[in-house]
């Protein structure tokens, strides 16, 4: 496993050691001790989630706040997505900044997003299966989000606006400016 820092403090790309031959492949997708040794973060994942989506589906930008905030380790099992994390930690030097990375079934790269970040992704391939581990349980009362097209977060989703497929809930999310006074991380 190799860890690559991103421009956002605490967000890492995880490049796994991949073993392949004529039979197929093998890689260790997570090892708590190795992860701690490389990042200094002692994470205890308690919930795994998986979604399947078609091209253009944009899910996000979501977070949970307060005692139910979540760190996530995300990866793509099938297809390709653009994955985005936005720093919502008001005291962070990168507050309001984002990082966008392509994740695919071919790269086997994972993306670690710590607590205090909004997270979202858009499907770039015809279909995608997206998998993520969370270090805290989902709590509906603690969920929140930032609108995907916030003008203060110039995110290039790599698709035209008319190609995007969003839930009604995700089209009604506030901007980061509207949300900032209520953030609890």
**Mean local confidence (pLDDT), 112-130:** 98
User: Taking a C-beta distance cutoff of 8 angstroms, is the pair 66, 123 a contact?
Assistant: no
pLDDT band at residue 7 using 50, 70 and 90 as cut-offs? very high
Look at residue 1 in the predicted model and tell me its pLDDT.
86
pLDDT band at residue 16 using 50, 70 and 90 as cut-offs? confident
- Please confirm, yes or no, whether 138 is among the known catalytic residues: no
Q: What is the pLDDT of residues 128-177, one digit of tens each?
A: 999 999 999 999 999 999 999 999 999 999 999 999 999 999 999 999 99
Say if 90 falls within a structural domain. yes
- Please confirm, yes or no, whether 108 is among the known catalytic residues: no
Look at residue 89 in the predicted model and tell me its pLDDT.
94
CA distances from 172 to 49, 99, 168 (A): 24, 23, 7
Say if 29 falls within a structural domain. no
Q: Which domain does 130 fall in, by range?
A: 7-15+45-182
Say if 124 falls within a structural domain. yes
Catalytic residue (one of 108, 119, 132, 148): 132
pTM: 0.93
Provide the domain count of the chain: 1
Catalytic residue (one of 62, 65, 98, 108): 62
Look at residue 15 in the predicted model and tell me its pLDDT.
94
CATH code: domain of residue 159: 2.60.120.10
Look at residue 27 in the predicted model and tell me its pLDDT.
87
pLDDT band at residue 25 using 50, 70 and 90 as cut-offs? confident
Mean pLDDT of the chain: 95
CA distances from 171 to 88, 98, 145, 165, 168 (A): 19, 19, 10, 10, 5
């Amino acid at each position: 496993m190799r860890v690559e820092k991103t421009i956002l403090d605490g967000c890492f790309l995880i490049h796994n050691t991949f073993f392949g031959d004529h039979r197929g492949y093998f890689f260790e997708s997570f090892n708590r001790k190795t992860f701690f040794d490389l990042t200094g973060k002692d994470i205890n994942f308690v919930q795994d989630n998986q979604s399947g989506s078609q091209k253009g589906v944009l899910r996000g930008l979501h977070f949970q706040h307060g005692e139910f905030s979540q760190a996530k380790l995300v990866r793509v099992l099938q297809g390709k997505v653009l994955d985005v994390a936005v720093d919502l930690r008001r005291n962070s030097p990168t507050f309001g900044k984002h990082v966008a990375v392509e994740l695919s079934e071919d790269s086997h790269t994972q993306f670690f997003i710590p607590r205090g970040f909004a997270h979202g992704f858009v499907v770039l391939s015809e279909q995608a299966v997206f998998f993520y581990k969370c270090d805290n349980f989902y709590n509906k009362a603690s969920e929140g989000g930032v609108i995907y097209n916030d003008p203060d977060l110039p995110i290039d989703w790599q698709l035209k606006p008319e190609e995007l497929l969003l839930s009604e809930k995700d089209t009604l999310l506030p901007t980061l400016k509207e949300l900032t006074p209520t953030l609890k991380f």
